[in-house]
Each structure stands twice: as structure tokens, then as C-alpha cells.
Amino acid sequence: MNLQMKLRVLVDNHSLGLPGEWGLSFLIEADGRRILFDVGRSDLFMRNAHHLDVDLANLDWVVISHGHYDHTWGLPHLIRSYRESNTPVEERPTVVSHPDAFRQRFNSKGKESGSLISAQELARHFELTLSREPVWLTDRLVYLGEIKRHNDFEARKPLGKILIDGQPVDDFLLDDTGLTYRTPEGLVVIVGCSHSGICNIVEQAKRVCQDDRVVDIIGGFHLQKPPRQQLTGTVEYLTAQKPRALHPCHCTDLASKIALSKAATIGEVGVGLTLEY
């Protein structure tokens, strides 16, 4: 089989030999391009990349799935790395995310839970593409943009507050999105936390890519002690998609993984895992 995309897990809660942390970061190599998807909550993604003999100095894209701390706090470390190497801004990767990803936000207890740096500060160090619409990173890999929310069993409740024009409003994580890679067999959907709903994300991937076949889904499914309606609806939806495998990780608890095993074979995920398609 002609392999076209490689994904390596640099950060996850679970370890397969290297240190883990509460967060997520994947390195994706596809169609001659190198994409860093999320950066965890520290410099661990860089340390683990070093242990895996992975070079992060020649990235083409950095994609941020959404603006929570456990997916963005690694950005200052990436900035420092490029500054220390004296790499000109025009030779650094382009950062792609939703316009809300770098706004100030607070969790339900009032504690700051968003990015350490603003979009304005980030734009000093990288080319920045903030888009609500899909952005094709290669001929086959697409950033999905703002996810349309149709399901009645997921993504219905706010999670804290976000500052819009200086005013706190309910935070429905409109910036939460993912990537999708088109393989000859169907779609590989790559997600961060799926606050917008894992089923909603898959539906958007199918629309954007004009392909109903789902090969695999990897990332956080946002299933931590979920309401019964949400878990049941998710399992029924994914069962109907007939994926070859599922790789839930990060914000997906064990009970939910067991339930998801009714829909497809569950693959173990942890720091150091490599998947090829």
C-alpha cells in the first residue's frame, strides 16, 4: 500500500514510553508538508520530538484546534525556538486557527483557561491565518474551520466565558475544529478536544471533502462522564459510519472508550505512537 500520511503523537495524557501530560500535540507529515497540530501545555512536545529524533525546525504549518491552555501553552516555547535559531518570520510556519482561538477565556470557576498570548502577539512571530472557513493545507489535508452544529445530543452547553469586544459571553467553543486527510479508502479525521461535538466534526469533514467514507478518527472525543444521551448518540452515529478504527485519547474516559468499542476497533493512543495511512 502506498502510504501517504504519517501521524506521530508528541503529547497525550497517556504514555507509551515517553513522558505524557494533560494535553495534546501531533506531528503530521503529508504530501511533502509537515504540520504540527496543537502544542500541549508546556515544552514537552519539543522534548518528546527530540527523543523521537523528530525535527520541528522545518514545519510548514502549525494548526491550533482551539484556544484552551492544554493545546496552546506550548506556543511560547515554539516562538523561543525559532527566535533563538534566528529564523526569519517569512521562513517560519504559518499558524492556522479560528479567530476566537486566542481570545481571553475563563472556565466555569472563573479561572483563566485560554492561550498565554494573543493573536496580535502571535502575529509578530508567525504568519497567521485566522479563518472560520476551511483551509486546504495540501491537496488532501484540510483545516475544517468553524464546525456546523446539528446534533441535539452534543455541544449544547457553554463551558465558561470568553471575552468578545471586552465583554464576557457564554463560551460555546466556536473555535473548536479539526483536520481531515483524504485517503483513497476514505477520511482520517484528526481532532483536539471535540468541544463542537465529534459527530458534528465528522459530518463537516464529509461535507468539506465530499466523501462519506470514514477510515479513522484520532484525538480527544470530549467524552468525560458524558450524559447518557450524548454517549448513546455518539456510539449510534459512529456505528453507522463503519470506520475501520477509532483512536480516542486525551479527554476521553475509559468507560466511553469501552462504549465506543461497539462502533469500531479501538486503538491504543499514547506518546510515541505512530500511525500511517
Convert 210-222 into a string of H (helix), E (strand) and C (coil). Answer: CCCCEEEEEEECC
d(CA 113, CA 69): 6
Task: DSSP for 105-123, please give it.
Answer: EE-TTS-B-S-SS-HHHHT
Main-chain phi, psi angles of 223, to 5 degrees? -125, 85
Q: For strand 186-191 and strand 178-183, is the pairing parallel, antiparallel, or unpaired?
A: antiparallel
CB-based contact 99:63 (threshold 8 Å)? no
Which element (helix H / strand E) includes 96? strand 94-97
The Cβ of residue 139 has, within 10 Å, a number of other Cβ atoms equal to 10
Q: For strand 178-183 and strand 274-276, is the pairing parallel, antiparallel, or unpaired?
A: unpaired
pLDDT in tens, the chain (277 residues): 466 899 999 999 999 989 999 999 999 999 999 999 999 999 999 999 999 999 999 999 999 999 999 999 999 999 999 999 999 999 999 999 999 999 999 999 999 999 999 999 999 999 999 999 999 999 999 999 999 999 999 999 999 999 999 999 999 999 999 999 999 999 999 999 999 999 999 999 999 999 999 999 999 999 999 999 999 999 999 999 999 999 999 999 999 999 999 999 999 999 999 999 9
- CATH class, range 5-276: alpha beta
Domain boundaries, the chain: 5-276
